[in-house]
Structure 1
Amino acid sequence: MKKIIFSLVAVSCSLASFAQQENLSNSTKPIHAEEPPVDGYVAKSDIENRKVIPYAAIRQTDIAYSKRVWREIDLREKMNKAFASPKSRLIDIIIAAVMNGELTAYDPTPTENDPNGDSFKNILPADQVMARFGGDSVLVEEFNENNEVISSRYESRSFSGENVIKFRIKEDWIFDKQRSIFEPRIVGIAPLIVPQIPGADMGSSVTASSGEGQSANFDPFDPFAVQPEQRSQEVAQQDVPVATPTFDTGFVPSVDPTPAFWIYFPEARHILVNKEVVNRNNDATGLSYDDVFIKRMFASYIVKESNPEDLRIKDLLSDGVERLYESERIKKALMDYEQDLWSY
């Protein structure tokens, strides 16, 4: 009996040692494996094998209160640095999924059937997605010793998500009276880009330079400003060289970031659930991008709430600080609604 037990123990130990040799980091002798070795001592497979946990079902008759808000996530804030990490950048994940056909991009251009451009009505083809970020190819020209173009060709341009620093989120705050829960549910996500407008850097101010080297600025839109023609007639009577107006290019109009395309969040969850988020303090986070959005682990500010006039906060307030105050007021109003439902 003892021999049988000893033989079983010996066989189990040999099997355990054989199983450990599959991971080169735990091997005791050099092994030439056909597959690349594990980058570390443990292969992270929990994130790759995760499945989306569905939301609880809500009936329309159980919705006692609903409010739609639009908010923006600024990746320059400290709490949102993980979204812009080169190891796992959010925009790179979305672009790769769209180009591979795993996600559908929707056109944000307002149309008759979609006045705001965020109702997921018009599909944006995958070949036009890269055009929103400046095109997917660049013209490369070759010159000779005389600085003459001898040949030209198009080369594919590698996409860089460093220029995307903001995301817009559309979400619904719903109170389910059947479950007595007031919760937000994200509907869509859109990366924001600053559109390049040709000629937007041209200035509108004019500088008049005199023959003696002196310059005088005047505003062409000011009805009380002395115009160059009137100034030249006055100077001509005094035998002084006429001032020559030149345009100053210092004026640059500000263009607000706009959505490049919209992604339907329930569809994107199946992609984000298998993408790990980088943590500054701990590499073994076990959190995916789906967890970050569901658990609300990001900083944001509200830019619009549903209203009869369909106005944004910037349409009502021009000062940036006042807009932030209004954003916090809307957040507090949502929280106060939930607190006022209960009495003790």
Structure 2
Amino acid sequence: MNKFLSFAALAASLTLSVAASAQEQATTASSNGSYRPIPNSDIMFRKTIWRAIDLREKQNKPMFAEGKEISKTILEAVKRGELQAYRNDSLTSTYTAQEVVANSSYAEASAGLSEEEKAAGFSEESSDDGWGAPAPKKGKGKTTAKAAPKKPVAPPSYEYRPKDLYQMELKEDMIFDKKRSRMYHDIKTITLLVPSTLASNTSGIEKPIGTFKYSDLVRVFRNNPDKAIWFNPQNDAQHKNLADAFELWLFNSYIVKVSNPNDSRLSDIYGGEREGILASQQAATDLIEYEYNLWSF
């Protein structure tokens, strides 16, 4: 009887320790943004990949429908305090809601004469009063009060329209789960970007607005089913939640970076954007071929 009780106690302690270990693994993985973390003991292969998503593409239009843009859904959640934004995909430091609004805004160019007006003979300091009459001249010998220097006025700032924010970057781990014998797309983060092609983006490069944990985004999408909609153009009765759209991989993307010692993008490694796109296609093919070869043994 004593031996039986001792064995039962030992089994119970082992069960608790395994459960605690699994919980600790899940919590650690979840802190990296994973929605369904896979235990390290089940991972046979893992590769971190960064993908660019252009929401203007036909396959991505359902998550960029008029009034239901994913960019709008994300930014509104940040303003409500429902979603935390991070500075980069390492998730080590955060943005405030005010900083995210500033990142998603642009300053209007300072008012001045257009090229047509300058060609017509107008200048910043005109010699007339604007109505054709000569501007009054300062009299000789008369002392005039010196005008106070004008303080520079900051140009007004405006938020980008949701339709302008069509560029995103997704970070994922491609994981082969040896227990289930299949490859998983374990999404970690999604970054919202200001596209480089916008005329108001004078920097000429993509600017990050904020990075978001995928697990946080799933929660926001589930909590706002009337806003987080993947629009089904074939059947209005079958619109899906954005969380389901990502789980079912109902979007198109292309690889821009695969984990490497120098943390370099494919365009940097191969010397140009065109070469980077070709390398992206090759990287996608290599990953498919790797998974296929696992089944040939």
TM-score (norm 1): 0.57
For 1:123 and 1:74, locate their aligned partners in 2 and report how far apart those are by CA, in whole Å.
25
Do 1:138 and 1:156's aligned partners in 2 also have CA atoms closer than 8 Å? no
For 2:248 and 2:49, locate their aligned partners in 1 and report how far apart those are by CA, in whole Å.
17
Equivalent in the alignment of 1:91: 71
Give 1:276 deviation, angstroms. Answer: 2.0
Percent of pairs with identical residues: 32
Matched residue SS, 1:314: helix
Distance 1:55 1:168, change over 3 A: closer
Equivalent in the alignment of 1:169: 170
For 1:138 and 1:127, locate their aligned partners in 2 and report how far apart those are by CA, in whole Å.
22
Deviation string 1:75-124 (CA, Å, 9 cap, x unpaired) is: 2211111232123100000001111111100113xxxxxxxxx2111110
Matched residue SS, 1:64: strand
For 2:48 and 2:42, locate their aligned partners in 1 and report how far apart those are by CA, in whole Å.
17
For 1:156 and 1:308, locate their aligned partners in 2 and report how far apart those are by CA, in whole Å.
40
For 2:99 and 2:37, locate their aligned partners in 1 and report how far apart those are by CA, in whole Å.
35
Matched residue SS, 2:193: strand
Give 1:55 deviation, angstroms. Answer: 5.9
Q: Report the residue type matching 1:124 in the other structure.
A: Y
Equivalent in the alignment of 2:265: 312
Matched residue SS, 1:168: strand
Give 1:284 deviation, angstroms. Answer: 1.3
* Residues 149-298 of structure 1: pairs in structure 2 closer than 5 A: 160-194=161-195, 255-273=204-222, 274=225, 275-298=228-251
Larger RCO (CA under 8 A, 6+ residues apart):
2
Give 1:137 deviation, angstroms. Answer: 11
User: Among 61, 67, 78, which residue is 2:47 paired with?
Assistant: 67
Matched residue SS, 1:72: strand
For 1:276 and 1:194, locate their aligned partners in 2 and report how far apart those are by CA, in whole Å.
23
Q: Does 1:121 align with 2:70?
A: no
RMSD (Å) for aligned C-alpha atoms: 3.3
Do 2:105 and 2:157's aligned partners in 1 also have CA atoms closer than 8 Å? no
TM-score (norm 2): 0.65
For 2:37 and 2:164, locate their aligned partners in 1 and report how far apart those are by CA, in whole Å.
38
Equivalent in the alignment of 2:103: 132
Do 1:136 and 1:159's aligned partners in 2 also have CA atoms closer than 8 Å? no
Distance 1:291 1:106, change over 3 A: same
Give 1:57 deviation, angstroms. Answer: 5.3
Matched residue SS, 2:187: strand
Q: Report the residue type matching 2:104 in the other structure.
A: F
Matched residue SS, 1:299: coil
Equivalent in the alignment of 1:323: 276
Q: Report the residue type matching 1:73 in the other structure.
A: I
Q: Report the residue type matching 1:336 in the other structure.
A: E
For 1:320 and 1:156, locate their aligned partners in 2 and report how far apart those are by CA, in whole Å.
32
Do 1:130 and 1:136's aligned partners in 2 also have CA atoms closer than 8 Å? no
Deviation string 1:209-254 (CA, Å, 9 cap, x unpaired) is: xxxxxxxxxxxxxxxxxxxxxxxxxxxxxxxxxxxxxxxxxxxxx8
For 2:101 and 2:35, locate their aligned partners in 1 and report how far apart those are by CA, in whole Å.
32
For 2:35 and 2:97, locate their aligned partners in 1 and report how far apart those are by CA, in whole Å.
29
Q: Aligned pairs, how many?
A: 220
Larger radius of gyration: 1
* Residues 25-64 of structure 1: pairs in structure 2 closer than 5 A: 58-64=38-44
5+ long unaligned stretches in structure 1: 1-53, 109-117, 140-145, 202-253
For 1:319 and 1:122, locate their aligned partners in 2 and report how far apart those are by CA, in whole Å.
31
